[in-house]
Amino acid sequence: MRFRIASSPNKNGTTHHQTIMKFHLFSFLAVLSAASSFTFGKTYTVGPSRMYTNLQQVTTLLVSGDIVLVDGNVNYDGGIFLSIPGTAANPITIKGVTVNGNRPILTGGVYGINISNAHFNIIDGFVITATTKAGIGHFADQIIIRNCVYRDNLKDCIIGYGQFSGSLTLEYSELYHNGESTLSPNAHQIYMATDEVAFPNASFRMQHCYIHDGNGGNNVKSRSGRNEIYYNWIEGATYHGLELIGPDAEDSDLGNEATKREDSDVVGNVNFITLGGAGARIGGDGTSQTWRRYRFVNNTLFLNDRGDAIRGYTGAQTLEMFNNIIFNKTAASETRVFDDNDINWANERQVIGSNNWLQTGTSFVPPEFTSTISGPDPGFININSNNAHLISSSASIDQGIGSSATIVFYPSLDPLFPPEFQPPLHTVQSSPSSRPNDGALDIGAYEFDATVITENN
């Protein structure tokens, strides 16, 4: 900042120099006040030719606002431990830098990265593989993980047991070949829970991800206080695409099914079940139940074998289903829309739904459903290649309900509506794909788009 020097006096006896100094000092103090919550952090670089050759050399040096840039096209040891928190205004960012088209790879370790009390940390742009327990251990609050690939981890890919686990956002990431090939029910691509005492308002949000071809268990098993599952392509679970249930007291003594009610909002996903499980199992898994509220809106559910779109088990409170497509590639008679044989309702049965497209011949259709559209074929571009974009003759076009309906006495809280984006088409993407808006909502995860049809024909 430069000050102009002037010595001639003003009428009030001060000099121009003093006046200008006072003006600039005031401006400078105003800027300092406005920026008082922001810190200009330090940037560290990691790579074979850098001062720091591995990530762990840097992690103990970090403070709020710092950024770590890790050179890509290099294989680094896993087992990274993060323990220093950032702040909401000044998170700590650990970012992989693509080199020759390749991210940095973290290989091995019990955890690829163990995030322990390192609140407000961002992990961006890594491949994490070959860990013995999980690619990411999530034991902190307000964590963002984006633009990463998790593959071939020997058990879970991302894990949070509940104790010390707060909010986590997972986005623009690909997960595959994680879990146990022995078909163990105890290893999943994602196993997530939140500490309902330390972080009672915590949530797990997964958005714009491609999760597929798990080696065992479920693609996503979550016991979190709130689940927000938005705009993902979910495919190829050994058991269920989603299992959204209550906390397990064996994981932590800081939460049980009576601590709070957990809710799930599932919007705008493609969920492809290949091996006879369920698109989503809700309620519980035999260890605990949730008594929570479930909402499924504008999803496309494929089945390729006998199975359930939604399977209820033990305790739940409500189920809402609007604007969903449910289709079985093998036979409609193999599909149960909502299997409620094993569910216990917190109150009397609370189910609503409307404007869903259901394949003719499906069973277990809730009698509460209204304005259902049925037919033999949902009108996808290519069923055989699982291209779920709509063709111009699809009966789902413009048939979605245009308001966010809910159960009056047990409403879904903070529902996402209308869907703004679309899921990736069995791939991973680095930025969101906007959902076209022509004023009338289509059923399913994708809005009709003539441009997409032209590109795929």
Give mean pLDDT, residues 293-298.
97
What pLDDT score does 339 carry? 95
Q: What is the pLDDT of residues 57-81, one digit of tens each?
A: 999 999 999 999 999 999 999 999 9
164 and 20 share one domain: no
- Section 22-40 average pLDDT: 42
Place of tokens 């840097």: 58
Instruction: Output the six-digit token pair for 296.
Output: 């499924």
Residues 249 and 392 in one domain: yes
Residue 31: pLDDT over 80: no
* 32 — pLDDT class (breaks 50, 70, 90): very low
Is 52 part of any domain?
no
Q: Count other Cβ atoms within 10 Å, centred on residue 10.
A: 11
The answer to whether 118 touches 140, Cβ cutoff 8 Å, is yes
Say if 43 falls within a structural domain: no
pLDDT for residue 182:
64
| Ranges 146-150, 246-250, 336-340, 365-369: which has the least confidence | 246-250
| Cβ atoms of residues 313 and 285 within 8 Å | yes
Cα–Cα distance measured from residue 109 to residue 295, given in angstroms and rounded to the nearest whole number = 38
pLDDT score of 27 more than 70: no
129 occurs within a structural domain: no
**Confidence bin at 184 (pLDDT 50/70/90):** low
Q: Tell me what pLDDT residue 233 has.
A: 97
**Residue 157: its pLDDT value, please?**
87
Supply the pLDDT for residue 406. 95
Q: Structurally, how many domains does the chain consist of?
A: 2
Compute the average pLDDT of residues 265-279.
92
- Pseudo-torsion of CA 327, 371, 425, 278, nearest 10°? -50
pLDDT of 40 above 80: no
Tell me the two tokens of residue 83. 């323990």
pLDDT for 11 beyond 60: no
Mean pLDDT for the stretch of residues 255-279:
85
Which amino acid type is present at position 89? A
Per the structure block, which two tokens stand in for 247?
A: 């906390």
Which residues neighbour 71 within 8 Å (Cβ) at sequence distance 6 or greater? Answer: 45, 46, 47, 48, 49, 50, 97, 99, 104
| Same-domain check for residues 257 and 405 | yes
| 28 band by pLDDT with thresholds 50, 70 and 90 | very low
pLDDT at 373 over 70: yes
pLDDT at 186 over 90: no
Mean pLDDT to the nearest integer, 416-438: 94
| Position 400 in a domain | yes
The pLDDT-based confidence of 10 (bands split at 50, 70, 90) is: very low
Q: Does 103 fall in a domain? A: no
Continuous H helices in 35-193? 56-59
Reported in sequence order, the residue ranges of 404-449 that DSSP labels E, i.e. its strands, are 421-422, 433-434
Q: Does residue 448 lie within any of the structural domains? A: yes
Q: Which helix (H) or strand (E) element contains residue 140?
A: none
Q: Rounded CA gap, 179 and 188, in Å? A: 5
pLDDT in the model for residue 453: 60
Of 139, 113, 118, whose CA–CA distance to 128 is shortest? 113
Cα gap 165→193, rounded to integer Å: 7
Strand 67-71 versus strand 43-46 pairing type: parallel
Confidence label for 263 from pLDDT (cuts 50, 70 and 90): very high
User: Do 391 and 258 share a structural domain?
Assistant: yes
Tokens of 55: 């990530």
pLDDT higher than 60, residue 1: no
58 within some domain? no
Range of the domain at 18: 1-36
pLDDT of amino acid 216: 84
CA 301 to chain centre: 18
The pLDDT tens digits for 346-362 are 989 999 999 999 999 99
Mean pLDDT of 160-175: 93
Contact 149, 172 (CB under 8 A): no
Give residue 261's pLDDT: 76
* Residue 69 placed within a domain: no
Mean pLDDT over 72-100 rounds to 98
